[in-house]
Structure 1
Amino acid sequence: MPERLALHEVLTERVAIPVDDGAPPMSAYVARPAAPGAHPAVIVAHELFGVTAHVRDVAERPWVELPHDAAGREAGFALLHRMTRAGTLADVGAAYEQLRDGGAPRIGMLGLSLGGHVAYLAAAELDLAALVVAYGGWIPTTDIPISRPDPTIDRTASINARVLVLVGGQDDAVN
């Protein structure tokens, strides 16, 4: 991967975020500006294969937190079929509250693939300033547990954020 110009010093760490669903704390990779003060925040919902080098590169800007971490291809597919709508919203809600409690004046969300579905679902429930969905899978279907009982796309009217959705016409998980 080519080196990129660092415009801001960014501090990274792994944290454990308590979630109000009785489960153990959620692991999160956090990148934040070294400069003091309140900074806008973006929750990044990773793709099916976890917090990869690419996802860390996206996160290491001066405003990002990643809510959950699934490792590897097999773990990703196993996670896909174990995720529930309630559990997913609890995880993202906990990340959102952590950022809000930390003084973030505005919170947006970026979702990649499965994370795009997670972000779309969360935007219907949370007061997000912005939503970007990149190749978000299964949003118009009930093929995976987080899209049940009703397709996530049916919640569109509840989204108050500014929205950008990026999809490919030949992506079977998107169509």
Structure 2
Amino acid sequence: MNNSTLTSFAAATPPVQATLITTDAAGLQAGEIQIPAGDRDIPAYWAAPEGNGPHPVILVVQEIFGVHEHIKDVVRRFAKLGYLAIAPDLYVRQGDVSGLESIDEIRKIVFTVPDQQVMADLDASLDWAQQHGGDVSRAGVTGFCWGGRITWLYAAHQPKLKAGVAWYGKLVGDSTSLMPQHPVQLASRLKAPVLGLYGGQDQGIPLETVEQMRAALAQAGDSSSLHVYPDAPHAFYADYRPSYRKEAAEDGWRRMLDWFRQHGV
């Protein structure tokens, strides 16, 4: 198995040490696993408190840069709070982005990943959790950047979910055979409420699209919610990148945990 996407930071985003948060694995079960997922096993990183559980489950959906050290650290952060958390490698069939040094090279791989494949792999991850001490009656999903969009999609796909939290995920876009629908088109089909956390200075997700999503949710009568940090850029939670904004990141983390607890995760 090629585990390079699971063992370091992405080459395209070397870490900024001054803000980097590191969470140890003391008191946890943690490591790389293989998840049976239809046509093949897929690599993933997981962590949970020591002991048999059952533990509530959080699926952590990667940034565009893959399952690298920051995403693994987020998994451990959840485990320290009592969750069984899993971050599956959702690009593994299409390629390894960890060694790529430009966002354009990464996009060439990411844009070939079918939404349908991602939904199936997340379903397989939920099944794995159920078989390894996870309580899937208390399951949530969260994702960042590319994974933020996927969070919305998975909340419209998986009826077992209790809640989702999408960090600066794209909301609108052109329909393609691989990405037939976007979150704004799924507002009336969400099976679990989603909290969306967005930056007012995000150059890739215009505020008008956030307001478009807010209107679609209101029209659908959905209980999901959107929160915008006016001064925050894209990737404001990514403590290993210059985009990190400590105040917004910490507030977003608190809001996320409150959202999950409020909805039984």
TM over 0.5: yes
List gaps (5 residues or longer) in structure 2.
1-19, 91-95, 207-265
Among 160, 163, 168, the alignment partner of 1:130 is 163
Identical pairs, percent: 26
Relative to structure 1, is the Cα distance of residues 145 and 120 closer, same or farther in structure 2, using a 3 angstrom cutoff? farther
Aligned-residue Cα RMSD (Å) equals 2.4
Match of 2:98 among 65, 69, 72: 72
Which of 73, 80, 85 is equivalent to 2:115? 85
User: Highest CA radius of gyration, 1 or 2?
Assistant: 2
Letter of the structure 2 residue corresponding to residue 68 of structure 1: D
Does 2:205 align with 1:174?
yes
Amino acid aligned to 1:33: P
Q: What secondary structure sits across from 1:41 in the alignment?
A: strand
Distance in 2, Cα, partners of 1:155 & 1:120: 8
- The match for 1:141 is 173
| CA–CA separation in structure 1 for the residues paired with 2:189 and 2:107 | 29
1:13-52 mapped onto 2 (5 Å cutoff): 13-20=31-38, 22=39, 24-52=40-68
C-alpha contact (below 8 Å) 2:67/2:88 kept by paired residues = no
* CA pair 143-154 structure 1, distance change in 2 beyond 3 A: closer
Q: Deviations over 1:32-76 (max 9, x none)?
A: 111322000100001011123221211103221102255427363
CA distance in structure 1 between the aligned counterparts of 2:129 and 2:99, rounded to whole angstroms: 29
Equivalent position amino acid for 1:152 in 2: P
Which among 116, 132, 140 is matched to residue 148 of structure 2?
116
Alignment-mate amino acid for residue 152 of structure 2: Y
Q: Give the CA deviation at 1:3.
A: 5.5
* Counterparts of 1:77 and 1:158, CA distance in 2: 28
Counterpart CA distance in 1 for 2:21 and 2:164 is: 27
Aligned to 2:250: none
Q: Is the 8 A contact 2:115 2:179 kept in 1?
A: yes
- Structure 1 alignment gaps of length 5 or more: none
The residue matched to 2:140 in structure 1 has which SS? Answer: strand
- Supply the distance in 2 between the matched residues of 1:171 and 1:43 (Cα, whole angstroms): 25
Which 10-residue stretch deviates more, 62-71 or 114-123?
62-71
Distance change (3 Å), C-alpha of 1:30 and 1:172: same
TM-score (normalizing by structure 1):
0.84
Q: Secondary structure at the match of 2:157?
A: coil
Residue aligned with 2:196, SS:
strand
Q: 1:159 aligns with which of 169, 186, 190?
A: 190
After superposition, the Cα gap between the structure-2 partners of 1:31 and 1:172, relative to the gap in structure 1 and judged at 3 Å, is: same
| Cα 1:147/1:73, change in 2 over 3 Å | farther
Equivalent position SS for 1:16:
strand
Query: How far apart are residue 140 of structure 1 and its match?
Result: 1.2
**Match of residue 124, structure 2, among 94, 99, 103:** 94
Q: Does structure 2 retain, via aligned residues, the 8 Å contact 1:15–1:30?
A: yes
Contact conserved, 2:23 with 2:73, CA < 8 A, in 1? no
CA distance 1:78–1:135, change in 2 (3 Å) = same
